[in-house]
Amino acid sequence: MHKLVFATNNAHKLEEVAAKIKGQIQLLSLDDIGCFDDIAETGVTFRENASIKSHYIHDKFKLDCFGDDSGLEIDALNSEPGVYSARYAGEHGNHEANINKVLAGLKNETNRKARFRTVISLIWNGEEHFFDGTVEGTIRHERSGSKGFGYDPIFQPDGYNITFAEMSLDEKNRISHRAIAVEKLVAFLSK
């Protein structure tokens, strides 16, 4: 069976991708291959950061792999937080502070259009391929829901009257930016 490394240790992301691959390929995490390095995301775009991760693993371990980068883009904030989504308020992964900064930035703003975007960089048989996924929506004025993580409590996808944080994991995973990108990746790997 062909081995493929997902350049992540995020268990949720791994489960999501493994469920879609359905055992066609042996999916490995960074832990599985003994990689405990902190891969610096120094790119200024999602594509660059995803590529940095996949190239790092491919160059060091000589294994087929893919990396991803995702974030929230808000029109009225010049597409911020973008690649800085996880550390928008300064400290990496402080979701409350990040949401507070977004809501403060949009305080008097009527244009609340936003999107979540994911880019995957796959290195397969020595060649790099990119897959992307986007889900359009709006930023709510206040938090709603307790599921999910990050900006989910303030992001309402188009066509819904609830936020990502009010959806079941299954429902969110059917329409999310990552799900869309992963579907494209799986379609490619199934060829």
The string over 11-39, giving b where at least 16 C-beta atoms fall within 10 Å of a residue's C-beta and e elsewhere, is: eebbebbeebbeeebebbbbeebebeeeb
Helix (H/G/I), strand (E/B), else coil: 126: coil
d(CA 79, CA 116): 10
User: Measuring CA to CA, which residue among 68, 93, 67 is closest to residue 81?
Assistant: 93
The residue annotated as part of the active site, out of 64, 68, 69, 152, is 69
> 69 catalytic, yes or no?
yes
Catalytic residue positions, numbered: 69
